[in-house]
Amino acid sequence: MTADGEGRSDETHFADADQRDAHFLRHSFAVARRSMAHGNHPFAAILVDAEGHVLIEAENGYMPDRDATAHAERLVATLACTSIAPAVRATATLYSSAEPCAMCAGAIYWAGIGRVVYGLSERRLRDFTGNHPENPTLDLPCREVFASGQRATEVSGPLLEDEAAALHVGVWDK
């Protein structure tokens, strides 16, 4: 997990907003692959500011302490609260390899992050994980959590869902 106040400049010139979203979503997929290479679950999230700087990257943090609350989006939201100004959070986008669960959507809401883009839907993730003891996936669309709040959180997804799903093939079969 990294927080860089200066912001690492990523490619900032995109033909349109869809291309920008695809670029940063694939960035989150790459971090998710890194998470799995590090012995963790294949999930990741990144926070990108309005100018296209990657402010925070987080891999899933289940291991080494078996912390079932260390979902990547929750880690990003917590780090954003302690290191990123509220006005920047409000115009930032969190890109997540999979749809935020109820806990993570709550954390994103409390962090005041203005927009979420996700790859794999929670419903489809649940088809992969089943009732796996390390990841008994919830079944509550993040839009429902955000809709219950008092400030707007924009949501886009699922996007690039087959690429996002590929991260989970064979992972939860044991």
Query: SS3 for 157?
Result: coil
Site string for Zn ion, 62-81 (x = CB under 5 A): ---------x----------
The residue (of 20 and 60) whose beta carbon lies closer to Zn ion is 60
Sign, Cα dihedral of 123, 129, 131, 134: negative
73 is catalytic: yes
Site for Zn ion in 93-152 (CB under 5 A): 101, 103-104
Pull the structure tokens for residue 144. 């429902």
Phi first, then psi, for residue 155 (nearest 5°) are: -130, 135
The residue (of 20 and 41) whose beta carbon lies closer to Zn ion is 41
Residue 45 sits in the site that holds Zn ion (CB under 5 A): no
Question: H-helix or E-strand containing 164?
Answer: helix 161-166
6, 57, 59, 73: which one is catalytic?
A: 73
Please report how close the Cβ of residue 43 comes to Zn ion at its closest, in angstroms. Answer: 8
Separation between Cα atoms, residue 13 and residue 144, nearest integer Å: 33
Cite the active site residues. 73
Q: Could you list the residues that contact Zn ion (CB under 5 A)?
A: 71, 101, 103-104
